[in-house]
Chain A
Amino acid sequence: MTVADRIVIVFAVVVLISLYLLLWTTGPHPTHAKLTDHDHHTISHNLDADRFIDVAGRLGTSKLEINRQRIRFVDSPCKSKVCIHAGWLEHSGQVLACLPNGVLVEMTGGTRQFDAINF
């Protein structure tokens, strides 16, 4: 191994460490939840205050709860209630939809992370 090789390996290690520091440290939490109703109207709700929000959907009213920077569906007129069973959204970039009712929630602000990983 030559001197230049050693420099390359040191360089590689420095690059790797900075990559982990840069891309793997968790960023700030999401600040807003973007709610889209069946008419494609989008309203951004601040996550700071805990409260309930009603969103008009295709079938009726979906009720969402904001609690400790998180959001979830608590009531929905849909049949399967998949949206309610999905539970809390707490990371930026996460998306949850009640398809029958046409209501969409997306977490925004902060550092976006995966909403799902598929191989």
Chain B
Amino acid sequence: MPSTSDLTPSREDLLIAWLSAAAIMVHIFESALPSLLPGLKPGLSNIITITVLCLYGFRIAAWVSVLRVLVGSMLIGTFLSPTFFLSATGALTSLLILWLASLAGTRFSAIGLSVLASMAHMSGQFVCAYFLFIPHAGIWRLFPVLMTIAVILGIINGIISQKLVNRLTQTGS
């Protein structure tokens, strides 16, 4: 009977581990940035999710995104805190949208995917914030503003992802 130490990680496991490590690094870096508005983050770690989605497909991107939220929150110390729940709902909603978008094949480039993910992330977060933390209709007044910023950041992150994807496919790695 093989013990757990005998498990050999597959090529895919190693890939997920490396990519998750990169995403976690960006996640932690981002958490150190000051925030202008509550609930507002540049979503830099989504660049990694989108890039991975474009290069390796949805399954690996989902692994990287979920591992990033879990491990990232444990390292920052926000695991199971309000921040964690907002971040987790956001990540899951955007994964859902990305899954639907990935069914359409390669019709979307990184820019379209990033905008969709960013809007889904913000909506998911807001619904979570409304039901769990601030059950006051007033928070929806903040929604259009944050959504506008989400779209703009989604476009910027999408352009960065697209450049990453182009560069990585050129070098052939």
User: Which size bracket describes the interface of A in this complex?
Assistant: 20 to 34
Interface residue? B83 (CB, 8 A)? no
Hey, which chain B residues are within 8 Å of A100, CB to CB?
none
**B112 close to A8 (CB less than 8 A):** yes
- For B38, give its contact among A16, A23, A119 (CB under 8 Å): A119
**B116 close to A8 (CB less than 8 A):** yes
Shortest Cβ distance from A27 into chain B, in angstroms?
Answer: 11
Hey, which chain A residues are within 8 Å of B147, CB to CB?
15-16, 19
**B107 close to A112 (CB less than 8 A):** no
Interface residue? A49 (CB, 8 A)? no
Residue-wise, chain A 38-77 has the 8 Å CB interface mask toward B (1 for contact) of 0000000000000000000000000000000000000000
Hey, which chain B residues are within 8 Å of A8, CB to CB?
108, 111-112, 115-116
Interface residue? B29 (CB, 8 A)? no
Chain A contact surface mostly: helix
Chain B contact surface mostly: helix
Q: How many residues of B contact A (CB 8 A)?
A: 22
Residue-wise, chain A 1-18 has the 8 Å CB interface mask toward B (1 for contact) of 111110111001101100
The A-B contact count (CB < 8 A) is: 58
Hey, which chain A residues are within 8 Å of B119, CB to CB?
12, 15
For window 117-160 of B, CB contacts with A under 8 Å fall at 119, 137-138, 140-141, 143-144, 147-148, 151, 154-155
23 pairs of residues in contact across A and B, judged by CB atoms under 8 Å: A1-B111, A1-B112, A2-B107, A2-B108, A3-B107, A4-B109, A5-B109, A5-B111, A8-B112, A8-B115, A9-B112, A9-B115, A12-B154, A15-B119, A15-B147, A16-B147, A16-B148, A16-B151, A23-B141, A24-B141, A93-B138, A113-B138, A119-B38
